[in-house]
């Protein structure tokens, strides 16, 4: 556990080192949230709850964005994955710790400041303390879910070299399925029913609903239950795929 | 350094041929690239459709207005992605890894080489989708001569593409000083996203930024006014846009020229 925590710390520190990159990224998140705020304020006719929901979805999507898959994909393509597998640690856990480290860096430097500014200016209502705790818990679980899904996409590199295409695809699908383009409740019913069941909804949309208070507490508990179930299912599925993939690397000889 | 246009055209054709060989060799990758762009653009347009299923209009702008603006900007982005994507790699590939040495020793324009080394034919996908939506958004048939409208539209779309790439050129030039300006470019590009909507729905200060500082308003909103609000000021708008475009490109090329002077080889 300790060694993986040091990877978490390392990616945090690396972000601090590349200061100019981080500053531009932080400003980017801020302006993107501003765009989403003004756009949805205009679309919804100043509906505070809907606008707040969209801002939160945007922020959470950024928080959860994971590079685990792209790193894995690159390692598979240039063959360094075999080196990594010899080391006395699990590559998958390492990638996830690094990805979560990056997420937490963005959380402290970009997402919390943006949330604070938006709350102070009055663009966002602050939730009750209890709801805020539930929101944090749900977001954290979501963060793991998205990192796992990203790793799944990294496996695609066994088939394609085009990790860039895979990344565009994943980012688009996540942002559509999580309601970052249009809230899921505004989609036609056939699509809504599918998307409501998928893990993207539970990782990004549900925490945002908890924050804005658009979901009753009973439904929150139900959603959290499903979310954790999804996490467990993904962990098991990932474990199975990881075994298979490792064998495939050995067959390739890296 | 002073070769004719003909020479450059021939060279560009060769680069395209190299790209086609690559696409043929890695067919799966190529198709996957096309598929990912296709899915992305479809979902984006679908989202606009869903929004207007629930909200009939946004501050007086309706669905087809949004489609139109979005389509022009998607075509612009598509042109930029297809022909100018090399600019994104200036920092990462050329400056940080010292690959720019290779570019410098050749008797061909540096900018030309960087652009030609990365042509993404798959970007045509977004252009095709954009054109399809433009036709669907029914605006072509309205207001007068179809042929004239099509010509104006083509000009608008090309200008939009040139504006996006000119802005990229300006900020990619910073790579020579900062080693990698890709994050700065991403930041500036995120303002481009504002330009996909009727910018008058945003507060004043954002409109001012999008008009005078980062002129993404000219990428689709201002030129599209001609079709959307039947402004008789079209020629004015046209010249304003041309002026912006020239300013952006002159600034970009100047920065590029100065940036090269700051280039220090990595010694690789």
Give me the DSSP letters along A105-141: HHIIIIIHHHHHHHHHHTSSPPPPHHHHHHHHHHHHH
What pLDDT is attached to residue A115?
92
Nearest to B42 by CA among A181, A186, A158: A181
Give the tens place of pLDDT for each residue, B89-118.
Answer: 888 888 888 888 888 888 888 899 999 988
Average pLDDT over residues A152-176: 79
Chain B residue closest to A187 (CA)? B50
Give the tens place of pLDDT for each residue, B82-91.
Answer: 999 999 988 8
* Contacting residues for A211 by C-beta, under 8 A, at least 6 apart: A52, A56, A127, A131, A132, A135
> Is A42's Cβ below 8 Å from some Cβ in B?
yes
CB contact under 8 A, A28 and B187: yes
Q: How many percent of chain B have pLDDT more than 70?
A: 93
Nearest-by-Cβ selection for B44 from A39, A181, A188: A181
Q: pLDDT band at A141, cuts 50/70/90?
A: very high
Nearest-by-Cβ selection for A162 from B32, B40, B43: B32
Q: pLDDT band at A167, cuts 50/70/90?
A: confident
What pLDDT is attached to residue B257?
92
Average pLDDT over residues A106-133: 90
Chain A residue closest to B33 (CA)? A165
Which residues 146-175 on chain A approach chain B with CB closer than 8 angstroms?
A: 159-162, 164-166, 168-169, 172-173
Which tokens sit at A83? 């080196």
In degrees rounded to 5, what are phi and psi of residue A128?
A: -70, 160
User: What is the three-class DSSP state of B61?
Assistant: strand
Chain A residues with beta carbon closer than 8 angstroms to that of B26: 161-162
Average pLDDT over residues B185-205: 89
Give the tens place of pLDDT for each residue, A15-43.
Answer: 887 777 888 888 989 999 999 999 999 99
State how far residue B195 is from chain A, nearest Cα, in angstroms: 10
Chain B residue closest to A189 (CA)? B50
What pLDDT is attached to residue B94?
86
What pLDDT is attached to residue B243?
92
Chain A residues with beta carbon closer than 8 angstroms to that of B56: none
What is the residue whose two structure tokens read 């505070």? A48
pTM of the model: 0.87
Q: How many Å apart are CA B69 and CA B44, to the nearest integer?
A: 13
Helix A112-121 and helix A48-64, axial crossing angle in degrees, nearest 10: 170
What is the residue whose two structure tokens read 């912006």? B244
Nearest-by-Cβ selection for A181 from B29, B47, B206: B47
Chain A residues with beta carbon closer than 8 angstroms to that of B179: none
What pLDDT is attached to residue B267?
62
State how far residue B47 is from chain A, nearest Cα, in angstroms: 6
* Position A254 pLDDT exceeds 50: no
Query: How high is the ipTM of this complex?
Result: 0.85
Asked whether the beta carbons of A97 and A7 are under 8 A apart, the reply is yes
Asked whether the beta carbons of B71 and B133 are under 8 A apart, the reply is yes
Helix A217-252 and helix A129-155, axial crossing angle in degrees, nearest 10: 20
More confident residue, B149 or A140: A140
Chain B residue closest to A27 (CA)? B187
Nearest-by-Cβ selection for B26 from A44, A161, A169: A161
Q: pLDDT band at B234, cuts 50/70/90?
A: low
């Amino acid at each position: 556990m300790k060694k993986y925590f040091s990877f978490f710390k390392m990616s945090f520190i690396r972000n601090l080192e590349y200061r100019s990159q981080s500053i531009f990224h932080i400003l980017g998140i801020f302006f993107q949230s501003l765009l989403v705020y003004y756009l949805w304020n205009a679309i919804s006719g100043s509906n505070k709850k809907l606008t707040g929901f969209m801002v939160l979805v945007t922020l959470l999507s950024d928080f959860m964005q994971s590079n685990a898959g792209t790193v894995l994909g690159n390692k598979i393509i240039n063959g360094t994955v075999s080196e990594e597998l010899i080391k006395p640690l699990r590559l998958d856990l390492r990638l996830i710790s690094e990805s979560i480290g990056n997420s937490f860096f963005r959380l402290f430097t970009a997402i919390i400041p943006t949330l604070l500014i938006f709350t102070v200016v009055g663009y966002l209502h602050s939730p009750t303390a209890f709801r805020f705790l539930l929101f944090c818990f749900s977001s954290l679980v979501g963060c793991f879910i998205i990192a796992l899904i990203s790793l799944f996409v990294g496996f695609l590199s066994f088939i394609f070299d085009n990790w860039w295409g895979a990344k565009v695809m994943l980012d688009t699908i996540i942002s559509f399925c999580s309601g970052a383009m249009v809230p899921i409740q505004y989609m036609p019913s056939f699509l809504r029913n599918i998307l409501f069941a998928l893990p993207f909804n539970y990782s990004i949309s549900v925490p945002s609903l908890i924050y804005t208070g658009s979901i009753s507490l009973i439904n929150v508990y139900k959603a959290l239950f499903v979310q954790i179930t999804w996490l467990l299912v993904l962990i098991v599925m990932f474990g199975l795929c990881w075994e298979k993939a490792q064998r495939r690397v050995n067959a390739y000889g890296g | 350094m002073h070769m004719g246009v003909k020479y450059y055209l021939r060279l560009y054709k060769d680069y395209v041929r190299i790209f086609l060989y690559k696409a043929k060799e890695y067919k799966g990758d190529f198709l996957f690239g096309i598929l990912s762009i296709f899915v992305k653009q479809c979902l984006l347009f679908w989202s606009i459709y869903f929004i207007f299923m629930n909200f009939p209009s946004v501050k007086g702008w309706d669905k087809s207005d949004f489609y139109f603006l979005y389509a022009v900007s998607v075509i612009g982005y598509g042109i930029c992605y297809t022909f100018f994507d090399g600019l994104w790699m200036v920092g990462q590939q050329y400056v940080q890894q010292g690959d720019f040495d290779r570019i410098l020793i050749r008797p061909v324009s540096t900018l030309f080489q960087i652009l030609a080394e990365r042509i993404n034919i798959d970007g045509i996908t977004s252009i095709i989708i954009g054109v399809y939506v433009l036709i669907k958004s029914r605006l072509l048939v309205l207001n007068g001569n179809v042929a004239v409208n099509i010509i104006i539209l083509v000009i608008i779309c090309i200008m939009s593409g040139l504006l996006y790439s000119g802005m990229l050129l300006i900020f990619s030039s910073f790579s020579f000083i900062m080693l990698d300006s890709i994050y700065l470019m991403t930041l500036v590009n995120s303002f481009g996203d504002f330009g996909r909507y009727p910018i008058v729905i945003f507060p004043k200060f954002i409109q001012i930024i999008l008009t005078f500082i980062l002129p993404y308003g000219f990428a689709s909103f201002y030129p599209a006014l001609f079709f959307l609000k039947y402004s008789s000021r079209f020629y004015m708008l046209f010249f304003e846009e041309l002026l912006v475009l020239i300013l952006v490109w002159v600034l970009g090329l100047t920065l590029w020229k100065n940036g090269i002077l700051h280039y220090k080889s990595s010694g690789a």
